Structure 1
């Protein structure tokens, strides 16, 4: 029986609060957050979320904080990393989601947000 994904999704929603045009959805069959239809994070399982990230930043984060960030062979070479959702601090999770949102948001919306 799968563990409840609700607590992990609640953390994502709280961390993404204030980002424009974020919609709750599903992605690969699990709860996700999207901006104008493009996913920037999703729940993988009760302990893990997937967050979009630039590949060069991903490599740095994987080395700097392996207690928070990791990947499996499935995610190798892909601009997404796995995050231990209950280990990461609220402010760090919010920062990661803002960066992921900026990566996926339409450029005009991202400029408006950053401006």
Structure 2
């Protein structure tokens, strides 16, 4: 699943919108980023809760991984050549559900 395919899937979900995250194209739900490009070739970033992130890296390290940049943050890298795109879609659903359950971010003061 490429980043473009993951974005298309995420945007098909109710409550999501095309946006930006740190200047890059992203998908947000309720104002919170759920999907963004990774800085590492062949991977994209899924913003998800820490417990799920740790479980994914433990159960499928060939697909879900991190660099030191993501250590301690609720985001995991997803390799585009995953053999289980259904699980990736399920995790995008989970990230969207988590974002919808949170309060919207407060507007930034200018």
Indicate the TM-score class for this superposition, using the shorter chain for normalisation: 0.7 to 0.9
* Long gaps (5+) in structure 2: 104-110
Task: Give the match for residue 6 of structure 2.
Answer: 12
Structure with the larger helix share:
1
Cα deviation for residue 98 of structure 1 reads 0.3
- 1:34 has 2:32 as partner: no
Task: Give the match for residue 3 of structure 1.
Answer: none
* Long gaps (5+) in structure 1: 1-6, 109-115
Structure 1 stretches of at least 4 aligned residues deviating more than 4 Å after TM superposition: none
Cα deviation for residue 105 of structure 1 reads 1.1
Partners in 2 of 1:60 and 1:68 — Cα distance? Answer: 12
TM-score, normalising length: structure 1: 0.75
